[in-house]
Amino acid sequence: MAHPDPGGVASDLLAGPADAAAGLAVRGADAVDPAASASIRDTLIARDVPARLAAKDPTLWGPGAETGAKVRLGWLDTHRRSRELLPQLAELIEELADLDHVVLAGMGGSSLAPETIARTLGRPLTVLDTTDPGQVRAALADRLDRTVVVLASKSGSTVETDSLRRAYWHAFLDAGMTEAEAARHFVVVTDPGSPLEAVAAEMGVVTIVADPDVGGRYSALTAFGLVPSALAGVAVADLLDDADALAGPLAHHRDNPGLALGVAFGAAAATGRGTVALVADGTGVDGLGDWAEQLLAESTGKAGMGILPVVVESPDAPGATGPGILTVSFGGALAPGVVPPGAADVAVNGPLGAQFLTWEYATAIAAAVLGVDPFDQPDVAESKEHCARILATGPAVETPSFTEGAVEAYAPAGAPADLADALRWLLDGLTGDGYLAVTAYLDRQADAAVAGLRQLLARATARPVTFGWGPRSLHSTGQYHKGGPPVGSHLQVTGAVTDDLPVPGRPYTFGELQAAQAAGDRQALADRGRPVLRLHLTERAAGVAQLLDAAGRTRT
């Protein structure tokens, strides 16, 4: 597999010892906390955990996790079974050669890996993991006659994916296509026997079934990662080759990069460094942080514990280093002199297919150290249930605590009636082990500037600050925020919809769905006693500018 030339930022851990195999190296892991790391590694080796995990032993996470683990360990060798997809993908690519605009409609594990693959390898892929009507409308207007839509949902009942399916189907028919012609513009990826598979059969749409023994966040090398990537022009066989070369060493006690990384996660969490800052080192792997964020948060954030991942913009961004933070850089090929000293505690470098398998293995190891089930997500459904109820009964009437320009604030009791002061109040309320999660239910393209809130607020506090887009975050970090350590405070940003879009065949619009998802998320957090400050932008562009200005003033 061809990898981009190195040339950016990563740690100078090159001179130190590495756990390496199949072109992938993990450096610095043993130095995270030498005593704790050695103790954890020795304990895992004494239990023969590396070999047992590679052999798919479902008992590694305790009796409560065993039943689920029996049907969720297929990720360890799915790269081999996925080779069976290659001839079908080659035929599909040839049949759809005239459809060169690939849109992926999927959430969480169905979208984050293919987005990483496409970004890393420089292939165009439009990812729609949103219900924002403006973002959906813009996608529908973009090269519709040349568009193929990949509908990806493991359960087959994901409301966002179903809504996007309805919107695109309606758009194709409105453009004058027959139903048979419209069906050619869809490819479905789902588990066998799912509701989406049945719908696809009714529509006459090509369906590629995914590996049922792999959970969503571990599905990078299944049909969920490979189908949209292949249609976008990625040579996906190379990803499978990368993973296959690494699979054997994952059973070993030495030169096992997955074990080294997992031990580093476990040692850090055991010694008070439960936050992992994820930073690209500039050597060509782009977007892996967002994928790893879901993997770590959803796999470990439960039962009141977990590892908090924070995707940071650069090695010198606020929150990238500091007390209680394990800084992990990731990238492709690594060459001497690429990384300045001290930029990361641990560096993970190697080909992308091997990166996926390494991080999955390491997360499973970290979960074993923490004593949690890495394959369930017990607290995710609650937000969805609240959303469904709100859509059925209508939203509650809310009165702003105060209004400042284009921003309406809905604040907890005791918050000051000033935007900058309310943000400062939220930050000051963080406990010594607390964190702030910023979630924006906005347009990821048109409102992209709002992501700058993370850096501005992180500069104003010593505590971690995360940023996520809703409703995407519900399928990513939502499990950690509800089921992890009960120390999070939340800033939710919503925005007015000026040009809404119907969801065909449903009694609600995209704007109403987006608002219900945000309200359901707030309710689930409030039910757990988490502080939530909601800032609603009555005019989005002006409101984003106000928020950034107010966040910048929280430092004074």
Q: What angle do CA 340, 359, 435 make, to 5 degrees?
A: 70
Q: What angle do CA 90, 94, 100 make, to 5 degrees?
A: 110
> pLDDT by residue (tens digit) across 388-447?
999 999 999 999 999 999 999 999 999 999 999 999 999 999 999 999 999 999 999 999
Q: Are strands 407-410 and 465-469 parallel, antiparallel or unpaired?
A: unpaired
With beta carbons less than 8 A apart as the criterion, state whether 49 and 32 touch. Answer: no
Q: Is the pLDDT of residue 133 over 90?
A: yes
pLDDT band at 10 (very low <50, low <70, confident <90, very high): very low
Q: Is the pLDDT of residue 12 over 80?
A: no
Confidence (pLDDT) at 300 = 98
Q: What are phi and psi of 225, to 5 degrees?
A: -85, -35
| C-alpha span between 2 and 234 (Å, rounded) | 11
* Of 545, 392, 514, residue with least CA distance to 135: 514
Q: Which helix (H) or strand (E) holds 88?
A: helix 86-95
| C-alpha span between 348 and 28 (Å, rounded) | 9
Q: Which helix (H) or strand (E) holds 260?
A: helix 257-270
pLDDT band at 343 (very low <50, low <70, confident <90, very high): confident
Q: Is the pLDDT of residue 337 over 80?
A: no
| C-alpha span between 84 and 81 (Å, rounded) | 6
> pLDDT by residue (tens digit) across 512-545?
999 999 999 999 999 999 999 999 999 999 999 9
Q: Which amino acid is at 326?
A: L
Mean pLDDT of 186-211: 98
pLDDT band at 18 (very low <50, low <70, confident <90, very high): confident
| C-alpha span between 479 and 255 (Å, rounded) | 32
Q: What angle do CA 418, 444, 391 make, to 5 degrees?
A: 80
Total Cβ atoms within 10 A of residue 469: 23
With beta carbons less than 8 A apart as the criterion, state whether 189 and 152 touch. Answer: yes
The rounded percent of the chain whose pLDDT value lies above 70 is: 95
Confidence (pLDDT) at 334 = 62
Averaged confidence pLDDT in the chain: 94
Confidence (pLDDT) at 556 = 53
Q: What are phi and psi of 143, to 5 degrees?
A: 50, 50
Q: Is the pLDDT of residue 15 over 60?
A: no
Q: CA–CA distance from 386 to each of 7, 198, 440 (Å)?
A: 47, 27, 18
Mean pLDDT of 301-305: 96
Distance of CA 152 to the CA centre of its chain: 15
| C-alpha span between 256 and 21 (Å, rounded) | 7
Q: Which helix (H) or strand (E) holds 164?
A: helix 159-174
With beta carbons less than 8 A apart as the criterion, state whether 416 and 432 touch. Answer: no
Confidence (pLDDT) at 342 = 57
- Residue for token pair 């009555």: 538
Mean pLDDT of 61-83: 98
pTM of the predicted structure, to 2 decimals? 0.95
Asked which of 190-199, 313-322, 512-521, 537-546 is least confident by mean pLDDT, the reply is: 313-322
> pLDDT by residue (tens digit) across 76-121?
999 999 999 999 999 999 999 999 999 999 999 999 999 999 999 9
- Could you give the dihedral angle defined by the CA atoms of residues 396, 397, 398 and 404, in that order, rounded to the nearest 10 degrees? 130
| C-alpha span between 521 and 530 (Å, rounded) | 11
Spell out a b/e string for 174-184, using b for 16 or more CB atoms within 10 Å of the CB, else e. Answer: eeebeeeebbb
> pLDDT by residue (tens digit) across 148-166?
999 999 999 999 999 999 9
With beta carbons less than 8 A apart as the criterion, state whether 421 and 429 touch. Answer: no
Q: Is the pLDDT of residue 341 over 70?
A: no
Confidence (pLDDT) at 226 = 98
pLDDT band at 335 (very low <50, low <70, confident <90, very high): low
Q: Interhelix angle for 34-46 vs 257-270, to 10°?
A: 120
Q: Is-cis flag, bond preceding 212, omega within 30? A: no
**Ramachandran bin of 347, using left for φ above 0, alpha for ψ from -120 to 50, beta for the remaining angles:** beta
Rg (CA), the chain: 23
